[in-house]
Structure 1
């Protein structure tokens, strides 16, 4: 029988064992995770991301289809990078580093160009729905 993965949300006070419980759930879900699916863990901070990954790596080898990161890093990895160029919303010379969008150095007004890229990308109706 095929087990179905479900969404989880953990809300608790500091020091109550959230990270420990999360690591336990990641390991359990990774065991039934198909190779063509991603397990996504979205955190509020880079510090939380690093803490989760450090603890997780002490227990298991982290599979390439397990993503742990902030909402910003998630959007960059799964939306902006793969769809931005395909949809023609970002120039070929666009480089995304962590949380910064850099445009061609010859651009006259980089701030305006960045805002145009981001706002156009966010308005595009053909983007996939993330649940």
Structure 2
């Protein structure tokens, strides 16, 4: 099961299929990462895995989407921008995070000297570094 995406309607057997294939792969010596959106889905996957497999194992990893983004996408590369560990993801609902009192905050433009600026996408909070996402227009 390499990089498989399972999309189907409710009751179609997604969870059963994911668990069955995960157990097969784990028994053949591989690891499995399942990324899901809700905490209820995370609990259900773990519960069903234990039911099917008989026990939990470190080879079966279930993560929420934002935990996956932080652990596997942001944190491995964050030290290029922020010296401290990123602890949370904050969603900006108040508009453009790069503007204060209607003016663009220096150093936060998407491109500086024709190169993409990582600080446009990752914005440090005064107290602790955070990963922010921005609303699309």
Q: Please report the TM-score for the alignment, with normalisation by the length of structure 2.
A: 0.55
Over alpha carbons, which structure has the higher Rg?
2
Question: Can you give the 5+ residue segments of structure 1 that lack an aligned partner in the other structure?
Answer: 102-110, 123-131
Q: How does 1:17-28 map to 2 (within 5 A)?
A: 17-28=13-24
Given candidates 66, 72, 80, the residue that maps to 1:72 is 66
Does residue 5 of structure 2 align to residue 9 of structure 1? yes
User: How much has 1:23 moved relative to structure 2?
Assistant: 0.7
Task: Indicate the RMSD between aligned Cα atoms, in angstroms.
Answer: 3.3
Q: Which runs of 4+ in 1 moved over 6 A?
A: none
User: How much has 1:112 moved relative to structure 2?
Assistant: 4.2
Larger displacement relative to structure 2 (72-81 or 17-26): 72-81
Contact 1:33-1:39 within 8 A present in 2 as well:
no
Structure with greater strand percent: 2
Secondary structure of 1:13's partner? coil
User: How much has 1:47 moved relative to structure 2?
Assistant: 1.1
Residue 39 of structure 1 is matched in structure 2 by 32
| Alignment coverage as a number of residue pairs | 100
Secondary structure of 2:23's partner? helix
Q: Which has the higher contact order (CA 8 A, sep 6+)?
A: 2
Structure with greater helix percent: 1
Q: Please report the TM-score for the alignment, with normalisation by the length of structure 1.
A: 0.57
String of CA shifts for 1:54-109, please: whole Å, max 9, x gaps. 1111232333243212221112222344443x435142xx562xx557xxxxxxxx
Aligned counterparts of 1:95 and 1:89: Cα–Cα separation in 2: 8
Question: Can you give the 5+ residue segments of structure 2 that lack an aligned partner in the other structure?
Answer: 91-123
Does residue 131 of structure 2 align to residue 118 of structure 1? yes
Aligned counterparts of 2:70 and 2:22: Cα–Cα separation in 1: 22
String of CA shifts for 1:11-69, please: whole Å, max 9, x gaps. 221112111111101111112234xxx42111121111111011111232333243212
